[in-house]
Structure 1
């Protein structure tokens, strides 16, 4: 089989069942120009490295795209289309980004969003992300009642459900968590105004904020800020304010290992016992 046949079979037969089917489409659009005519026997380290040069994108992007190729190959093997599954060679995993917003930068971003978008949908997205550290796609599917699209805010019980009942759980965990008091006040006001979705424009759910967010970032005079930066910011602020690794992991739906590895140094308690031991006078 060619890689194109494997990729298309994966997309048509399995792609609609994944948490974000559109990402499979994005990956196929990138993979097919290079891999389409190649046989599975061509999948080896040298070819994967050549693909990375062909694409000329970041290591993180290449890893995601080649990860889809590996998933398609594994699917074809499970379904019996092929008798063996070659291993896709991925680039080294990039170091986690350290970019997070200061309080002043967050205020500037919010002001730019509110001033540049009269409907306020982008400002709502930013507020939810800063208070909850929820990923962009999950926020944009959240409403004020149970729905078939995504999660919802239960304002009566004060709980946010990041994942809808019909959605599959993935490694990007989307567990329930309490709604912070300050955010709950905003949410009640938005719902009282007739909103059905947490982030909506002219009564309809917003599908993406990519362009609007980039414009607000530019107008705020910020660099290196993406929607995912807001998750980094929320976790960083929580640890700076004394949250424990365990509680932060639960609230932000992130593994304790990731919290410790990526954000742990922001906590006032980070390695405190080790420093105290070093500084303690010897008897």
Structure 2
């Protein structure tokens, strides 16, 4: 079952129009607010990283850009498990709550899944592009002696050292890039379970409402039938009373006539 509302707090928009049903639970409202804030922050990180993606491999690409990408991903990555735990807690709170609360949890979960999917996809694009455009660290060279043979040996040593450092730097850079990629598969499964649970709870509420409505309709029908029967019964009593009055009147008249004779 899929339910869509006009709330749009899981998209790339910078504003949130979440509407909450009236509830006396401060914990419920607090968790909802935290989740909405985290979704907004993840989407903001997505925008920052998307802008950085366009700069990789261009003259604007430098160590500062790569460091900013790393820090942005670390911050967003930390929000993902926190938000997931908030949603799981919210799911436990509303198990005996109102239908509107359950629909809110379902919507929040869907929006978080959407934000997480967009963020994860962009992370993979960033990793691929950064690995294809690795930055190299400049090597400082010592002044060479005037001996041609020494210069040749020194040049060969520098080239070997440069290649070794390049390979090491490349390996470390790739490991750092891959370490920033968040594994969202397990989280997505947990979120899907939350959505499925909320749909079942909402369906159960709707079924109970339908059953109650059916019982009310049946009860109303029975009352209408009883009232109809009661009206017919009273009508018959009135007719019988009228007939009895007519018969009694006739008998009185006959009796009076007989007595006068």
Q: Which has the larger Rg?
A: 2
TM-score (normalizing by structure 1): 0.21
Greater strand percent: which structure?
1
Q: Which has the higher helix share?
A: 2
Tell which has more relative contact order, 1 or 2 (C-alpha 8 A, sep 6+): 2
